[in-house]
Amino acid sequence: MGFTFDHIVHLVNDPLQAAADLREKGFHAIEGGRHTHWGTYNSLCYFDLSYIEFLGVYDRTLTEAERENLLVHDCALRLPQQEGFVRVAIRTDDIVQTADMLQKRGLNVSGPFPGSRVRPDGKRLSWSMLFVSHHESSLRLPFFIQWGEGDEERRADLTERGAIAPHELGPLALGAVKIAVAELASHVQQWSGWFGLTCGEPFIDESMQAVCQTVHLPGGNLLFCSPTGSGLVADIIAAQGEGIFELEVVGANQEGVHEQYGATYRWRTSENSPNRNW
């Protein structure tokens, strides 16, 4: 059983417009489809199998009626007023074993239960998912997903229909999901311990006035940042509380940043990537 970064969820009121805005910046982004039993729909931006999901609501009655899926509950709770990043999804190849392991490590486990969506071409995609929580965590924890197809089969299908395709910005890869926290050590210890992940050494990021530490996850690292004084991370926590605030990708042919719908996207060239710290 292994864990891999699967995707980050960005709640937005118009997923198709959000994808169009990213395309204007040089990203390849596509329409996703509808989750017909949850009243939600999405658009997607892939970096190999790691991706961004822009998730919105098209039928609030269905969304508000959902009780099992905490991500749909997030949609009902936050939209339309509060767009932004909400959760990370971690891919597993054995979700039943994952649920058992996480429960033994003291987490509250909901699931696994089935999910699906209909693509624009009419194909129904299926998966299993589970959610976890813990009374000591002030953050929304990741949820876990197992797809109905293996990685190679999914990669071939996504490439064939153009979902995985070159970005105008260059050969992009997902670098890090940045998470603002008031206290660094406890969150890094919790996430690395609960999910069996390794972590790097703490380092100072002067640009954010923060001490940061990476929790390593294949396909996209998790970078926790805690303020050392007045600066970006302190301002984020004061304005919106702890949580995901930025997604950084690497491999671009130019430097750039884009603030979109309550979230920040940053892209770097490989030469200027802070991978030495990740």
Confidence (pLDDT) at 274: 52
pLDDT band at 276 (very low <50, low <70, confident <90, very high): very low
Confidence (pLDDT) at 270: 76
The DSSP string of 129-169 is EEEEE-TT--SPPPEEEEESS-HHHHHHHHHHTTSS--BTT
Across the range 241-260, mean pLDDT stands at 96
For the stretch 168-199, pLDDT in tens is 999 999 999 999 999 999 999 999 999 999 99
Q: Is the N-terminal amide bond of 112 cis, ω within 30° of 0? A: yes
Q: What is the pTM of this model?
A: 0.94
Q: Is the N-terminal amide bond of 80 cis, ω within 30° of 0? A: yes
Q: Is the pLDDT of residue 273 over 80?
A: no
Q: Is the pLDDT of residue 120 over 90?
A: no
The DSSP string of 231-246 is SHHHHHHHHH-SEEEE
Tell me which residue of 265, 251, 278, 267 sits closest to 172, measured CA to CA.
251
User: Mean pLDDT of all residues in the chain?
Assistant: 94
Tokens representing residue 136 in the block: 């000591």
Q: Which is more confident, 193 or 117?
A: 193
Domains and CATH numbers, the chain: 3-160 (3.10.180.10), 173-268 (3.10.180.10)
Confidence (pLDDT) at 6: 98
* CB proximity list for 79: less than 8 A, separation 6 or greater: 11, 12, 13, 56, 57
Across the range 247-263, mean pLDDT stands at 95
Q: Is the pLDDT of residue 2 over 90?
A: no
Confidence (pLDDT) at 117: 80
Confidence (pLDDT) at 163: 96
Q: Is the pLDDT of residue 115 over 60?
A: yes
d(CA 5, CA 18) in angstroms, rounded, equals 22
Backbone torsions φ then ψ of 38, nearest 5 degrees: -110, -10
Confidence (pLDDT) at 275: 47
DSSP type of residue 199: B
d(CA 188, CA 225) in angstroms, rounded, equals 10
Q: What percent of the chain has pLDDT over 90?
A: 88
Confidence (pLDDT) at 124: 80
Query: Which residue do the tokens 């995609």 mark?
Result: 125
Tell me which residue of 14, 243, 24, 249 sits closest to 138, measured CA to CA.
243
